[in-house]
Structure 1
């Protein structure tokens, strides 16, 4: 099931723009290896879930996966073939706002080679460029 907030103050959010690098959530904290974004963007809840499933299928319960992002932003869209006007569309999906340097996923309890293969599978699903980093 896709992630979404239990409740929000406002149903519809403005687009905003992603400026600067992540100052928080940019280091490996929970696991031994992390998947770090190299560019900014939005990652939908469905994409986060797809990455989780891909990682879980690969590690098969021998390691632990940590998801470090959460989709707080509602993305709206107007139905296709709709005329101009009539206001902003209804919320379509939820997305996590990712800045360059944000840690997306972390892995613990697996070897470096296994983590590399696992994160390679995740990288294919991500809409932003990512890299694998080790804990300091």
Structure 2
């Protein structure tokens, strides 16, 4: 799973997700997967999307993951009374703003990249769109 090796604090507050990402361009690869709405994405969803993309392109090209789940989400066990402090860390997640490029691909054809990113997008809880790198002349 994708999670940080160590953090400054064990637990943190969940916070709010919103706004638009100003850096909404494909930087590393030629094709990207862009989020259309703000949401929270867990480490399991990121890993499932990565596995689906790499299996579809058959490890020919290169895949960049532009999101990293670094926020711990804690939960208390069921049927526990109120109080007694915050629960233990249950999973890790990342906040994704609208317009954020989450995955990038390079080294494959456009048709294969589009199919792979659509397959990966089916593993995510957010509506996405396939984008290409802008050509500056």
Q: Report the TM-score range of the alignment, normalised by the length of the smaller protein.
A: over 0.9
Distance in 1, Cα, partners of 2:14 & 2:56: 35
Displacement of 1:88 in angstroms is 1.5
After the TM superposition, list the runs of 4 or more consecutive aligned residues in structure 1 that deviate by more than 4 angstroms. Answer: none
User: Which residue number corresponds to residue 34 of structure 1?
Assistant: 32
Displacement of 1:19 in angstroms is 2.6
Is residue 131 of structure 2 the alignment partner of residue 133 of structure 1? yes
Displacement of 1:78 in angstroms is 0.8
CA RMSD of aligned residues (A): 1.0
Is residue 120 of structure 2 the alignment partner of residue 122 of structure 1? yes
Confirm or deny: 8 A CA contact 2:17 2:40 kept in the other structure.
no
User: Which residue, 89, 92, 95 being the options, matches 2:93?
Assistant: 95
Which structure 1 residue ranges, 5 or more long, are not aligned? none
The TM-score with structure 1 as length reference comes to 0.94
How many aligned residue pairs are there?
Answer: 134
Displacement of 1:81 in angstroms is 1.8
Which structure 2 residue ranges, 5 or more long, are not aligned? none
